[in-house]
Structure 1
Amino acid sequence: MRRTGAAVAALVLAGTALGAAASTAGAAPAKATAAAACPTGWGSGAKGGEATGAEPLDDIRTGRHDCYDRMVFDIPGGGSDIGYYVSYVDRLYQDPSGEYIPVKGGAILDIRVGAPSYDPETGTAAYPGVVGRPLPGVNITGYSTFRDTRFGGSFEGQTQVGLGVRARLPFRVIQLSDRLVVDVAHSWTS
């Protein structure tokens, strides 16, 4: 009888634990889980990397993810050492003219990529951007973080883009083979 009572008590305790686990299974994820799924340790300070080549920029595209919005610079033949400098600025000014380019949003990222928008050998356009205009073919409607895009032009082998974002949020830059990626988090904490 004693063994049966102990077994019943163990089953009751196990059932209580399972019930508690089941009741939280349908609930919103805990903050620790969300933080692991959406890292925000990127910071908002300027980031840069040295260039090793000057292949022309082919395309700029964007994408939406659960934790961040993404901008990708396609540079065929650029390898994985594409130069860049990305920083928040109060206003976007075209390099080298100093002309002001209005960018909508709560904060502005000035993105400079070590790839001209033209073919360095022929001078013909490789990317069809127009200074001060939105990026061609890029639609950021419905994005959580991105608010505006503006082409800043190309000068001395680098292309400038203004990216308007909702607020000054953490961002990261990733160098991949033949492309450069800029991710801007949806929030500081997840």
Structure 2
Amino acid sequence: MALTVVATALGVTALPADAAPVAAAQSTACPTGWGSGAKTRTAGTTTPVTNVRTGRHACYDRMVIDIPGAGRSHLGYSVRYVKHLYQDGSGRLIRVGGGAVLEVRVTAPSYDPDTGAPTYPAKAGRPLPGVDLTGYRTFRDARFAGSFEGDTQLGLGVRARLPFRVLRVDGHVIIDVAHNWTGAR
């Protein structure tokens, strides 16, 4: 019997190939209690950001900021809802689509601290390179605001002000935004 691997909020499950993955996803109990208040962790690294990527899950949409080589204890961040996203340093308004905007800051540059050469090929005010949000339930837009004095700033447009969480894993800052408030799909 062939197996299909289905990713759930709780892990990876093997199902027969003819099983309906949608049914498995619909029965997934979605986490609750994340809240929509600001989440911060004070720490910092000079290890630069190299990539930003996104993924869809049964209960939430996920953004991952890659900072390879940075240990978990050195990954600092500030993630909060803002009315408008303003670029650090210049104060320039960065327009971000969606019903609500999350300002995402990681305390890591997106440039080589020795040479100043970019390590992440993004341009201020433009969509994040390689990030296509077509088909996402919650994410609507993702913009690069800049990297200033060792912090990298992004704007994440979401459909509404929804609960979110921030996780740290060696080399990665992860932002999950729930599809809804109740925990039910």
Find the aligned partners of 2:44 and 2:157 in 1 and give their Cα distance: 28
Residue 7 of structure 1: aligned partner: none
SS of match in other structure, 2:180: coil
Q: 2:173 aligns with which of 172, 176, 180?
A: 180
- The amino acid across from 1:103 in the alignment is V
Query: Percent sequence identity over matched residues?
Result: 63
Deviation at 1:52, TM superposition (A): 3.7
- Superposition pairs of residues 11-90 of structure 1, within 5 angstroms: 37-81=29-73, 82-90=75-83
Find the aligned partners of 1:98 and 1:169 in 2 and give their Cα distance: 26
Count the aligned residue pairs: 159
- Structure number having the greater strand percentage: 2
- The amino acid across from 1:51 in the alignment is A
Moved over 4 A (4+): none
Q: Which has the larger radius of gyration?
A: 1
Deviations, residues 31-81 of structure 1 (Å, cap 9, x unaligned): 9x75xx201210000000011422100100000000000000000111102
TM-score by length of 1: 0.81
Find the aligned partners of 1:66 and 1:39 in 2 and give their Cα distance: 11
- The amino acid across from 2:107 in the alignment is G
- Superposition pairs of residues 55-134 of structure 1, within 5 angstroms: 55-81=47-73, 82-134=75-127
Find the aligned partners of 2:32 and 2:155 in 1 and give their Cα distance: 22
SS of match in other structure, 1:39: coil
Alignment of 1:155 with 2:160, yes or no, is no
Deviations, residues 74-99 of structure 1 (Å, cap 9, x unaligned): 00111102010000000111012111
TM-score by length of 2: 0.83
RMSD: 1.6
Find the aligned partners of 2:106 and 2:32 in 1 and give their Cα distance: 23
Find the aligned partners of 2:152 and 2:45 in 1 and give their Cα distance: 13
- Structure number having the greater helix percentage: 1
SS of match in other structure, 2:40: strand
Find the aligned partners of 1:49 and 1:185 in 2 and give their Cα distance: 20
Structure 1, unpaired ranges of 5+: 1-27
